[in-house]
Amino acid sequence: MKQVLQNLGSGETLLAEVPAPVASPGQVLVRTCRSLVSVGTERMLLEFGRANWLEKARQQPDKVTQVLQKIRTDGLLPTLDAVRSKLDQPIALGYSNAGVAVEVGSGAEGFVSGDRVLSNGPHAEYVCVPKNLCARIPDAVSFDHAAFGVVGAIGLQGIRLLGPALGESVVVTGLGLIGLLCVQMLRANGCRVLGMDPDTAKCALARQFGAETVALGPQVDAVEVALGWTGGRGVDGVLIAASTSSSEPVHQGAKMCRKRGRIVLVGVTGLELARADFYEKELTFQVSCSYGPGRYDPDYEQKGRDYPYGLVRWTEQRNFEAFLGLLAQRRLDLDPLITQRVPLDRALSAYDKLGRDRALGILLEYDLGPSGSERGTTLGQPLGQSARTVALSEANPLATLSAQPTHRAVVIGLIGAGNYTGQVLLPALRRTGVRLKTIASVVGAMAAHQGRKFGFEHATTESESVFQDPEINAVLLTTYHDSHAPLVVRGLQAGQRVFVEKPLCLSRAQLEAVRAAHAAARNPFLMVGYNRRFAPQTARIKSLLAARREPRVFVFTANAGRVPPSHWTQDPAVGGGRILGEACHYIDLLRHLAGAPVVSADAVFAHGVGAECGDTATLQLRFADGSIGTVHYLANGSKAFPKERLEIFCGGGVLQLDNFRVLRGFGWPGCGRDRLWRQDKGHGAEMAALAAALAAGEPSPIPFEELIEVAEVSLRLAAGESYRR
């Protein structure tokens, strides 16, 4: 299918061929008929993308601070790699889509195939959207008008926060698409409306919709006009739908309000507020959050958990439905707002003009098929499986990378195409010279992007096709943690050799399923991505320890930093929590360096403020050879402090490793100060070891028994239980 994407680094807009999505549980797969270009939002994205690095930094000072912190802790080169990788990712443009449901996932109640549906899907021939971000389109509403639904809901939410009453006077500052929709909705609500904008053509449209207007300019005093319009009493409310870096719209809004007036910001302005503007009048100022309650709440948006109707009357979805209801009742006139219709194949021409034309509503039109029907009966046909895989024939920009040694007999299928995969794993894997055949991801745009970038032959959203391909003899899994164990089992059952990122599993039941699948496999091969045991400084430490037989004492400090409770890694059902999801790295590292099994392990968790996620803990390990180890996994430290430090005490000497970059020896002959040019956590050596083992038909570089042991220890400690061998 075709989808409109933007390269965040260069600002280039692309009409890319990507695999169509799959309807997961709780989601609706929609064949798009119309989508609306949000001129203001998408123009800002284009301008940001086209800006140089310095201009991007000026626009995002908080990101600059993060980059500087990363340079101090990880070094310049890894930081540059991370920034380039982030900017290289494609951004899906668009968020107001109308089409026909072709597949409905389990749990997406209220929708059936063939329904005409409004959603916040992007500009793509097919979009897959969670059920709470969809709404059925009434029969009386055309696709053209329904495509305005999500943008209309943004304005509607701002009006709800403003709380206008019948007969009140409201100023709408900024008469772009959202501003003009707000003018009509306020008029439908029985309000007097004064519209303000520098563009006289937009003011003329606002008058057509029943507002009085003022064309802003150097000679116009907006405050005096508003006060005169109300007979000197001041307006009841101001809705700001403008986009500017200036704080003047907020300042003017405060001056033109009556006592206890309300100001709601729907657009984007500067927020340098003056206390005096608000103090004497006791004004209310509020920023509206997109479509309404539920926005950015993963429980509502992704998991489909609706808010109680009696307690939260207007959610995102209910705002969609309300706007569609206004359209069905003919309370809004959208035809004057449609300034351009563009077939999807010519979408890039519309974006080229976006910064120059005074466009309002640009509709992208999609092929409706031979019937051209808008009713949906012929459009709601199931999507063919071939649409979910695309051949990647474009030139590979990484073709010049050295690929020695070459392991072309190893044919890779990769499931997962996230940030870590593209930034860290794939560059290392590409250099091994293996054949990269198929990359799969639920996000087709990311699969296609990473696939083209690193030289895969195909991209797909059908992960099962990777297991069914007889040519693929090794599968790499880099998905969310909850899918690791089921995919490992599926790969082993398919007779493929499997590499999976940590953690191996999220429960003991999953661990037993992996153990059983490995025992039953024809050619059992399983490796978990414990890359730190392959780091060059780890190898150096291992060789230094080999000459000493005394028990070792390991102290590992992981200054992991805080992750919000809402992050997927903190969800026990999806990420498993950070002790299981990340601290397992350090358990494995100490197990590897000790060279002996863990015989007991305990965890002590910090409690109180900031410990709501259970991700600040001390893990205590005892090994069969008498060595002991402590992992301090800390979420309450400063990012200015190095993230990872390992200290080893043994036989009168001390080894200290900082951030897998600087190794120091104290009282340790043969080890003074060993500093790498850049941080190396072992990803390159890990992929090289994997490729070599696969090519030679050798066992996994990490013994299966150690993988099971580390998983068992991690599961116990994450649950706050003791481990005893």
Domain boundary assignment for the chain: 2-148+298-365, 152-287, 391-531, 532-679+702-724
Superfamily of domain 391-531: NAD(P)-binding Rossmann-like Domain (3.40.50.720)
Q: How many CA atoms lie within 13 Å of 482's alpha carbon, on the beta-carbon side?
A: 10
**Taking 50 as the threshold, does the pLDDT of residue 487 lie above it?**
yes
Please state whether beta strands 27-38 and 2-7 pair in parallel, antiparallel, or not at all (unpaired): unpaired
Query: Is residue 376 very low, low, confident or very high in pLDDT (cuts 50, 70, 90)?
Result: very low
Query: Is residue 566 very low, low, confident or very high in pLDDT (cuts 50, 70, 90)?
Result: confident
- What is the Cα–Cα distance from 668 to 556, expressed in whole angstroms? 19
Query: Is residue 43 very low, low, confident or very high in pLDDT (cuts 50, 70, 90)?
Result: confident
Query: Is residue 377 very low, low, confident or very high in pLDDT (cuts 50, 70, 90)?
Result: very low
The H or E element containing residue 413 is: strand 411-415
Do 659 and 640 form a contact (C-beta atoms < 8 A)? no
- What is the Cα–Cα distance from 291 to 151, expressed in whole angstroms? 8
Average pLDDT across the chain, whole number:
90
Q: Per-residue pLDDT tens for 201-249?
A: 999 999 999 999 999 999 899 999 999 999 999 999 999 999 888 999 9
Do 2-148+298-365 and 532-679+702-724 share a fold?
no
Residue with tokens 């890359």: 531
Average pLDDT over residues 591-611: 87
User: What residue ranges in 216-356 does DSSP mark as E strands?
Assistant: 235-240, 257-265, 284-287, 338-343
Tell me the CATH number for domain 532-679+702-724: 3.30.360.10
Do 362 and 340 form a contact (C-beta atoms < 8 A)? yes
Among 39-53, 84-98, 621-635, the least confident range: 39-53
Q: Give how far Cα 305 sits from Cα of 66, 133, 137, 637, Å.
A: 33, 11, 22, 34
Query: What are 439's strand-pairing partners?
Result: 414, 459
* Residue 164 burial class via C-beta count within 10 angstroms: exposed 0-12, middle 13-18, buried 19 and up: buried
Q: Phi and psi dihedrals of 636, rounded to 5?
A: -120, 25
Q: Give how far Cα 281 sits from Cα of 41, 278, 467, Å.
A: 33, 6, 67
Do 436 and 412 form a contact (C-beta atoms < 8 A)? yes
The first and second tokens of residue 290, run together, are 């997109």
> pLDDT at position 640, please?
81
Exposure class string for 332-361: b at 16+ Cβ within 10 A, else e:
bebeebbeeebebeebeebbeebeeeebbb
Q: Per-residue pLDDT tens for 81-103?
A: 666 666 677 889 999 999 999 99
Q: Phi and psi dihedrals of 355, rounded to 5?
A: -80, -10
> pLDDT at position 499, please?
98
Query: Is residue 120 very low, low, confident or very high in pLDDT (cuts 50, 70, 90)?
Result: very high
> pLDDT at position 399, please?
45
Architecture of domain 152-287: 3-Layer(aba) Sandwich (3.40)
Please state whether beta strands 723-724 and 598-605 pair in parallel, antiparallel, or not at all (unpaired): antiparallel
Do 186 and 179 form a contact (C-beta atoms < 8 A)? no
Q: Give how far Cα 303 sits from Cα of 24, 30, 681, Å.
A: 11, 18, 35
> pLDDT at position 77, please?
65
**Model pTM score:** 0.87
> pLDDT at position 75, please?
65
Q: Per-residue pLDDT tens for 273-289?
A: 889 999 999 999 999 99
Any residues with CB less than 8 A from the CB of 518 and at least 6 apart, and which?
492, 524, 526, 704
Average pLDDT over residues 690-698: 95
> pLDDT at position 54, please?
63
> pLDDT at position 9, please?
73
| Amino acid in the structure at residue 611 | A
Task: State the sign of the Cα–Cα–Cα–Cα dihedral 169, 170, 175, 178.
Answer: negative
Taking residue 281's Cβ as centre, other Cβ atoms within 10 Å add up to 16
**Taking 60 as the threshold, does the pLDDT of residue 56 lie above it?**
no
- Looking at the chain, how many residues does it have? 725
- What is the Cα–Cα distance from 120 to 292, expressed in whole angstroms? 13
Q: Per-residue pLDDT tens for 511-560?
A: 999 999 999 998 899 999 999 999 999 999 999 999 888 999 999 999 99
> pLDDT at position 370, please?
46
- What is the Cα–Cα distance from 39 to 61, expressed in whole angstroms? 25
Superfamily of domain 2-148+298-365: Medium-chain alcohol dehydrogenases, catalytic domain (3.90.180.10)
Query: What are 633's strand-pairing partners?
Result: 558, 617
Query: What are 500's strand-pairing partners?
Result: 477, 528
**Taking 90 as the threshold, does the pLDDT of residue 460 lie above it?**
yes
Residue with tokens 């206390």: 275
Average pLDDT over residues 712-719: 96
The H or E element containing residue 644 is: strand 644-650
pLDDT above 70 coverage of the chain, percent: 88
- What is the Cα–Cα distance from 290 to 97, expressed in whole angstroms? 16
Q: Per-residue pLDDT tens for 131-185?
A: 999 999 999 999 999 999 999 999 999 999 999 999 999 999 999 999 999 999 9
> pLDDT at position 387, please?
79
Average pLDDT over residues 588-611: 88
Average pLDDT over residues 593-606: 96
- What is the Cα–Cα distance from 429 to 692, expressed in whole angstroms? 11
